[in-house]
Amino acid sequence: MRRTGTYSRSPRFIGQSSRVMPTYELDVNNVYVAPTSWVVPGSDTNVGSAGNPVASISLAAQMVANGGTIWVCGDEDHLYYPISAQTIPSTKSNLTVKAVPGCKPTICGDNIPIVVSGGFPDGYSTALLRIFAPGTTVDGINIKNSSDATILNFGGGDGIVIAADNVTVKNCEVANAYGAGISVIGSYSNGVVTYISNAYVYNCTIHGYAERQFNYTQAKSSSINWPPGLRAAYVKDVTIEQCTVYKGMGEGIGLRYAKQTSTGNRVIDCKVYDAYSVGIYLDNVEHVTVSGCEVYSTQDTKYYRGGVPSKGISFACENEAAGAFTNRYITLSDCYIHHIGTGLIYGSYEANLGIRDLLVTGCTFAYSKNSLIAWETSASSANNSITGNTFYKDPTAGTYWDGAVASASADMSSVSLHANNWSVQPPAQFQGTADVYDAALASPP
């Protein structure tokens, strides 16, 4: 379809050189989207060209050819206000949804109603951006679940949902999601698990309620069942890299029902702080590497649970519909966990199927309210190793962070300990071969 006529506004606002006149002709390999308030206003009656953009990613995804690019305009003063989730359908493949250079497009959830299912808002169906097309890359698209930073009840559910294989989401910011900020999620139905494979989430920032003024206890009791900042559930070979997650109402980064086909699951060089429940949560997972991550509290008491900061890294086997299984083949390396409630913990609640073949090495645990490490009993746990780590207890008695170096009630029978550095001598069950006990151990940064 082609429209004729003269167009007078500068095309630089939609990513073209100012020497090139905009066109009304649609190129199915490059479809343009702009807010209705943009200098070149988007409208879903337009053709989707650079000079005549549509107003919704959903429509652009229907128009673009497989392998094509959806170019998205916008900034913080010109937002998208859809009335339903923006969807990239499963009928498409290998699309790129990308911010026009110089733009910071933001989808806002003010006009998306909250749908309640099972007593909690349904974050999946009301997510602001849902990706069902395999091979999709989303680059530089931001999510804000409300434009009003003073209210508690606001629109939408999850920020971004990845529900297809081989999807990359990068350079995105998700603010104040009512559900998970970014959710990589497969499904379980009638005894059959459908896994999402090879998702890659890179250089994304996900944050919760830092900007909102509200009663946190009220919000927690009336909201949506421990929404994580970044969730991956029923997945294989997912990678989460260089992401920052903070100030949410559940775990910062949570992996659940994760298995391996080839590369395994990886959480690399991420930063998590001020999570309400736990910084990084590994629940019913296999073949997971967590490396180079930092988890901590800024001592903002609004994000304390029961007056205590979150756990740092936690392993568990919760028993859900798909059935729990033992955590296995997990490596935790070169992480810094500090100023938390409990640094590292295996929790025996729910199915309590244990943890096996775990390696924790090269990590530093420092400054806790409760203890730096705790381990609960499970008959299924075996062949675990905690080697070459540093455990630093606040040396000043009576300070907030002078929790135990290790839990005296811990069951370490399934764990081999070797060559760990302790600022104070731990309980006997934590003492391993070639350990160093040094009260003058250098304080971590």
CA separation (Å) from 191 to 106, 188, 211, 307, 322?
38, 7, 41, 40, 7
Report DSSP letters for 365-414, one per residue. EEEEEEEEEEE---TT-BSEEEES-EEE--SSTTSTTEEESS-TT---TT
Which is nearest to 80 in space by CA: 51, 61, 116, 54?
54
Find out whether 185 and 161 touch, Cβ atoms under 8 Å.
yes
Digit-by-digit pLDDT tens for the chain (445 residues) are 333 333 333 334 454 433 333 556 889 999 999 999 999 999 999 999 999 999 999 999 999 999 999 999 999 889 998 888 899 999 999 999 999 999 999 998 877 776 666 555 566 777 889 999 999 999 999 998 765 555 444 455 688 999 999 999 999 999 877 678 899 999 888 778 899 999 999 999 998 754 444 444 444 444 445 678 899 999 999 999 999 999 877 889 999 999 999 999 999 999 999 998 899 999 999 999 999 999 999 988 878 888 899 999 999 888 765 677 889 999 999 999 999 999 999 988 888 888 999 999 999 999 999 999 999 998 889 999 999 999 999 988 888 999 999 999 999 999 999 999 999 999 999 999 999 999 888 778 7
Name the residue with tokens 């006009």: 111
- Predicted confidence at residue 421, as pLDDT, reads 96
CA nearest neighbour of 407 among 437, 442, 440, 372: 372
From the CB of residue 170, how many other CB atoms can be counted at a distance below 10 Å?
18
At residue 356, the 3 state secondary structure works out as strand
Contact criterion met (CB below 8 Å) for 389 and 424: no
Q: Tell me the two tokens of residue 396.
A: 């000043």
Residues 277, 238 contacting (CB under 8 angstroms): no
**Cα separation, 15 vs 100, whole angstroms:** 6
Which H or E element spans position 125?
A: none
Phi and psi torsions of 338, nearest 5°: -150, 155
Collapsing DSSP to helix, strand or coil, 215 comes out as coil
Cα angle 179, 183, 186 (rounded to 5 degrees) comes to 120
CB 206 within 8 A of CB 159: yes
No. of helices (H) and no. of strands (E), the chain: 2, 38
Q: Return d(Cα 37, Cα 106) in angstroms, integer.
A: 13
Rounded to whole angstroms, how far apart are CA atoms 38 and 56? 13
- Token pair listed for 378: 């499970």
For 310-363, strand residue ranges (E) read 311-317, 327-333, 336-350, 355-361
Burial per residue of 19-32, b for 16 or more beta-carbon CB atoms within 10 angstroms, e otherwise = eeebbbebbeebbb
Domains of the chain from N-terminus onward: 67-437 (2.160.20.10)
Cα 305 from chain centroid (whole Å): 20
Report the alpha-carbon angle 37-39-40, nearest 5: 95
Q: How many CA atoms lie within 13 A of 242 on its CB side?
A: 6
| pTM for the structure as a whole | 0.91
Q: Which one-letter amino acid corresponds to residue 232?
A: A
φ/ψ of residue 269, rounded to 5: 55, 45
pLDDT at 317: 87
Strand partners, 430: none
CA distance 20 to 4: 16
